[in-house]
Amino acid sequence: MTAKLELDDTATAIARPDGSAPAGDVLGPGSRLGHFRIERRLGAGGMGEVYLATDLALDRPVALKVLPPATAHEAAYRDRLIREARAQARVVHPNVAHIYFIGEERGRLYFAMEYVVGETLAERVAAGPLAVEDALAAVRGAALGLREAQRSGFLHRDVKPSNLMRDPHGEVKVLDFGLVAAATAPDDDDDDHADGTTAKLGDVTSSAPVAQTSFAGTPLYMAPEQARGEPIDLRADIYALGATLYHLVAGAPPFAADTALQLASLHATALRPTVPRGRAPRAQLSALDTLCSRMMAPRAADRFASYDELLHAIDLASLARARPGGFVARVVAATIDSLVLAVPVLLVIGLALKYLASNSYEVNGSPISLTAIAVANTLALARWGRTPGKALLELEVVSVADGARPTLMQALVRTAAQLGLAIAGSWFAGFGDMLDSHPLHALGDVLMTLGVIAAPLVLLASALFGANRRAPWDRVAGTMVRYRTTRPSR
């Protein structure tokens, strides 16, 4: 039976019939390439061999990527290595490994890049699944680096755990731009293809899809449209990053098969796997599944349309970054709101009712007062994103779509879903009094009681089991309650 594809098997790896190393000039410890002294071999991939070297001019360690002798004189491979170095050099960001130098000596084309001390995420996950917050932080760092690459006009096209390195400070850096493609129009003759055609790294745009002329990437993490050879855009990299996130949390890639063709079929048609239970807190598991599923949606149109949108979703899925408000804080905030908002409302309503009573009008003030409090709550959320109680406890209500304060419609829907039952009950009881109808009044009392009792119980259940502790009224309105944050995306 054919062995399953290995984690780093790409569709563009350099094949050698006998599997042996190529003959030719062997680079060993002490060898020199320009002003770089080879210390030891770090590894090899489809596009080159990587060595730890010392930059003799600046006395610092670097990683040298060298084109192997077997392909050193092939124009297609030379162009690809040059394209990789130039693309990576243009992406200046803490989450992308820096390029220092490109040169050629004794027919060996090479470039020097930042040597990152640490381990790849592939090495890390081989020891066991990552904690959810560690995985989200790693993927967030990768997304920041990929966003900068996209802003510079490039797609990575080979996002996977082995191309993401984590340094001793926990910073993740994107490596290996060997399959990079310039985001030019699909019908542009100068598209940066993976088939070895000459690349032009001049003016590029980041919004148009990239045309492909060959099957390029790593099948275990590859987006369906990329596997089909269709034009791709940043959403293909987002798909691969989603498959990487799943792998980091679950301990294995989302799909496994014997051939690249079988994997492509699974990525295109199979149900998205869910994160195994026990890999995340119950309150976070649903949000994590939703994030992975959207990143890995079979249709590109169903994925995140931008890295900013993706970063926001990652932050909301992270309990460390979003810090959703819990049961006690929200109950205390609601209690404060009921006192702060009720005092002026009841004062005004009380004066109005006293005036009406003096003119022989008898009006039940309970439904009017409760409705007025709900209106005040709605306006406060729409205007500031918080009420007095939430502001005092450093809580805020935000839209999950963009992290901004709720729109007026969202605030209205949220208040209606949260207080609607109690408000309806108060009005039924009020009309029952006016019409001297005991059944109507009794119905109102039941609804009011249910509304008052149900709200804290539902909130408690949401705090214990809900995704990001979102209560039903937050899910209906598309909002969430979290502690205030001013941490911007880099």
Any idea which residues carry the catalytic annotation?
158
Alpha helices in 67-182 (DSSP H): 75-90, 121-126, 132-151
Q: Are 259 and 220 in contact (CB under 8 A)?
A: no
Name the nearest CA neighbour of 390 among 434, 338, 346, 439: 338
Contacts of 480 (CB under 8 A, 6+ apart): 316, 322, 324, 397, 398, 400, 468, 469, 470, 474
Contacts of 269 by beta carbon, 8 Å cutoff, 6+ apart: 298
| DSSP state for residue 483 in the 8-state scheme | E
Q: What is the phi-psi region of residue 25: left when phi exceeds 0, alpha when psi lies from -120 to 50, beta otherwise?
A: beta
Chain-centroid distance of CA 314 in Å reads: 4
Instruction: Please choose, from the candidates 148, 141, 150, the residue with its C-alpha nearest in 3D space to the C-alpha of residue 173.
Output: 141
How far apart (Å, rounded) are the C-alpha atoms in residues 361 and 155? 72
> What is the rounded distance in angstroms from the CA atom of residue 475 to the CA atom of residue 307?
23
Instruction: Provide the token pair at 87.
Output: 């693309």
Question: 136 vs 248, 291, 314, 317, CA distance in Å?
Answer: 9, 10, 7, 8
8 A C-beta contact, residue 38 and residue 51: yes
Helix axes 438-465, 408-434, angle to 10 degrees: 150
Q: Which residues of 170-190 are buried (b: 16+ CB within 10 A; e: fewer)?
A: ebbbbbbbbbbbbbbbeeeee
Separation of alpha carbons 378 and 228, rounded Å:
49
DSSP assigned state of 41: E
